[in-house]
């Protein structure tokens, strides 16, 4: 991993930095022992590791402000961190940075059912947001597979989605307002508990900005009443391309299930072994869920079944109980962990037009065979957000580099067919050198200027998102 070398002046001043951090934070909020900072040397993209100078774990917006103001004055880089579940190296530290984790900031500040919002500190996990309101019949819609662990801070940073994003949208569609702390320490409120804030859409700039612009400490999130009912159906097919064609036909018919999830044979078997969900023995599996009243569910599933039958499914089964539905979703939500029992893997995150699914799945299989690395597929098929898992041996010399090269080629394919480099995992360090595949120099310059406005000294989340040669030449000039 090509990371900038640490600034020797900062390394020499490490003890002074830590002493000053302890002057603005409680003693237990500063981690400086190298044995303890190793827990923060990587995120879920664990192939790359680098220990930071120190780690701070504030409990309030005021403490975050104090840390950023101090680091700004000292010229110290800061890497914001939610729960460390980023699969793109979004919270990967550099050797000359302070990691600022928000995990201790997990309180519910306000709940308003009349106006349909909840205000939380952003260290709260995704699933715990729904946990705060579900007893009263409400839920928070975005549901990444890592929702039991991932933090709202990271969801906002990467504009995360999840299985149910087909109907309810991703984080940006469910985010009403934020409290953000700039690198200067200034606290700014953007948006609020209303549907549309006046003026420039700064909230749209913040959501998906990957910690480049500030540290989001609090968020207003849209909550929704639970639907009357929901029912998933399992559809098995003889080939990936056939399942992809079925997805395209469902969307083309104007139907809007709450979710359409895809798994191929390696994922099906791994998830079945873990969850015992009763997945059929097939090459490709779709999980399609609809919701509403019993009559609405029956009507939607009847139309979906008619479409599925045109593609000769080898299996078709509707869930018959809440327990069966729970197991079906447990298997899907456990896919990444279950695949980890089989091999090391790199998880990609390209997005394509749904109509291109059959072609892209065929090309991935061909590319996989050409380099000799297996690729397992599990993704949100309804909106074309693909998550190919490239399997490799981390202990075999050259395998990681081969994996990275294949991953780059798959992501380039996504862009070639009209898609983009990321749907919800972000760019991080994984895709930063591919940004020129999707964006021309004028596009990148516009993004760099936004960074200049919010973080003029470029201290926040260094070496992410933008190609290193682009940022180096620009900063030098």
Domain residues for the domain of 317 are: 230-337
Together in a domain, 235 and 305: yes
Q: How many angstroms separate the CA atoms of 66 and 51, rounded?
A: 23
- Which residues partner with 224 through β-bridges? 139
The Cα 52–Cα 240 span in angstroms is 43
Residues 80 and 131 grouped into a single domain: no
The pLDDT assigned to 139 comes to 97
Task: Beginning with the edge strand found earlier in the chain, give each strand of the sheet holding 30-31 in spatial order.
Answer: 30-31, 54-56, 97-101, 77-81
pLDDT of residue 8: 60
Instruction: Clarify whether residues 234 and 221 are in a common domain.
Output: no
**Same domain, residue pair 332 and 234:** yes
User: Which domain-ending residue is among 337, 354, 387?
Assistant: 337
Closest CA to 60 of 119, 121, 108: 121
Q: Could you give the CA distance from residue 392 to residue 384 in angstroms, rounded to a whole number?
A: 25
Model pTM score? 0.93
Residue 50, domain CATH: 3.30.43.10
Tell whether 119 is covered by a domain. yes
* Domain end (from 289, 316, 337): 337
Indicate whether 270 belongs to any domain. yes
* Distance between CA atoms of residues 239 and 259, nearest Å: 20
> Is 67 part of any domain?
yes
Structure tokens at 169: 């949208």
Using alpha carbons, list the distances in angstroms from residue 375 to 50, 87, 356, 427: 28, 17, 18, 21
422 belongs to a structural domain? no
CATH number at residue 309: 3.30.70.3450
Residue 27 belongs to some domain of the structure? yes
The count of other CB atoms within 10 Å of the CB of residue 53 is 24
Report the alpha-carbon distance of residue 91 to residue 210 in Å, rounded: 9
Judge if 141 and 219 occupy the same domain.
yes
Of 225, 249, 270, which residue sits at a domain end?
Answer: 225
Calpha distance 358→252 (Å, rounded): 14
Q: Are residues 112 and 96 in the same domain?
A: no
Distance CA 425, CA 332 (A): 17
pLDDT along the chain (477 residues), means of 10: 53 84 96 95 92 97 98 97 95 96 98 97 98 98 93 97 92 97 97 82 95 98 96 96 93 93 94 91 96 96 97 96 93 90 91 91 95 93 91 94 96 97 94 96 95 96 92 67
Contact partners, residue 337, CB within 8 Å, separation at least 6: 274
Q: Where are the alpha helices (DSSP H) in 151-237?
A: 152-158, 165-168, 202-206
Tokens (6 digits) for 418: 């009209």
Burial class (CB in 10 A: 0-12, 13-18, 19+), 294: exposed
Distance of CA 437 to the CA centre of its chain: 21
- Residue 430 in any domain: the answer is no
Amino acid 474: pLDDT: 66
Q: What domain count does the chain have?
A: 5
Alpha helices in 318-440 (DSSP H): 322-333, 335-339, 357-371, 399-416, 435-438
Please report whether residue 425 resides in a domain: no
Residue 460 lies in a domain: yes
Looking at residue 1, what is its pLDDT?
52
- Nearest to residue 89, comparing CAs of 48, 145, 53, 37? 48
Rounded to whole angstroms, the Cα distance separating 163 from 318 reads 18
164 lies in the same domain as 200: yes
DSSP letter for each residue of 316-353? EEE--SHHHHHHHHHHHHTHHHHHTTT-EEEE---B--
Distance CA 151, CA 171 (A): 12
Same domain, 86 and 38: yes
CATH of the domain at 182: 3.30.465.10
Looking at the structure, tell me whether residues 133 and 201 fall in a common domain.
yes
Same structural domain, 299 and 371? no
- CATH number of the CATH domain containing 351: 3.30.70.2740
Residue found by looking up tokens 């197991």 in the block: 327
Judgement on whether residues 69 and 113 belong to the same structural domain of the protein:
no
CA distance 454 to 294: 50
Q: Based on the domain organization, do 29 and 71 belong to the same domain?
A: yes
């Amino acid at each position: 991993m090509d990371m900038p070398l640490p600034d020797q002046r900062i390394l020499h001043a490490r003890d002074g930095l830590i002493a000053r951090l302890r002057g603005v934070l409680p003693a237990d909020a500063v981690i400086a022992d190298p044995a303890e900072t190793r827990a923060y040397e990587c995120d879920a993209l664990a192939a790359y590791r680098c220990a930071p100078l120190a780690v701070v774990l504030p409990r309030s917006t005021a403490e975050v402000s104090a840390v950023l103001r101090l680091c700004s004055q000292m010229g110290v880089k800061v890497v914001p961190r939610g729960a460390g579940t980023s699969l793109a190296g979004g919270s990967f530290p550099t050797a000359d940075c302070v990691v600022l984790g928000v995990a201790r900031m997990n309180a519910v500040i306000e709940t308003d059912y009349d106006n349909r919002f909840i205000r939380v500190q952003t260290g709260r996990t995704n699933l715990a947001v729904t946990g705060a309101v579900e007893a009263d019949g409400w839920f928070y819609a975005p549901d990444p597979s890592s929702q039991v662990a991932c933090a709202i801070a990271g969801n906002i940073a990467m504009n995360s989605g999840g299985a149910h994003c087909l109907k309810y949208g991703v984080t940006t569609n469910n985010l009403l307002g934020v409290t953000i702390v700039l690198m200067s320490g200034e606290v700014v409120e953007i948006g609020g508990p209303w549907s549309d804030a006046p003026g420039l859409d700064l909230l749209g700039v913040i959501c998906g900005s990957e910690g480049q612009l500030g540290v989001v400490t609090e968020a207003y999130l849209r909550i929704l009443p639970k639907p009357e009912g929901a029912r998933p159906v399992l559809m098995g097919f003889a080939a990936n391309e056939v399942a992809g064609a079925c997805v395209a036909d469902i969307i083309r018919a104007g139907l809007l299930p709450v979710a359409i999830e895809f798994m191929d044979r390696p994922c099906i078997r791994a998830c079945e072994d873990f969850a015992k969900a009763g997945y059929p023995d097939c090459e490709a599996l779709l999980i399609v869920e609809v919701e509403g009243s019993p009559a609405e569910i029956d009507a939607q599933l009847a139309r979906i079944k008619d479409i599925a039958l045109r593609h000769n499914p080898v299996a078709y089964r509707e869930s018959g109980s809440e327990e069966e539905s729970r197991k079906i979703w447990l298997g899907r939500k456990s896919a990444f962990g279950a695949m980890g029992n089989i091999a090391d893997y790199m998880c990609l995150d390209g997005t394509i037009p749904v109509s291109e699914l059959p072609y892209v799945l065929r090309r991935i299989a061909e590319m996989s065979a050409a380099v000799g690395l297996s690729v397992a597929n599990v993704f949100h098929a309804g909106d074309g957000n693909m998550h190919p898992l490239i399997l490799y041996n981390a202990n075999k010399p050259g395998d990681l580099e081969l994996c990275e090269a294949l991953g780059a080629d798959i992501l380039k394919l996504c862009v070639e067919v009209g898609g983009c480099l990321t749907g919800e995992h972000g760019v991080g360090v994984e895709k930063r050198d591919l940004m020129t595949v999707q964006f021309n120099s004028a596009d990148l310059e516009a993004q760099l200027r936004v960074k200049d406005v919010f973080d003029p000294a470029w201290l926040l989340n260094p070496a992410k998102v933008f190609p290193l040669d682009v940022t180096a030449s620009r900063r030098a000039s």
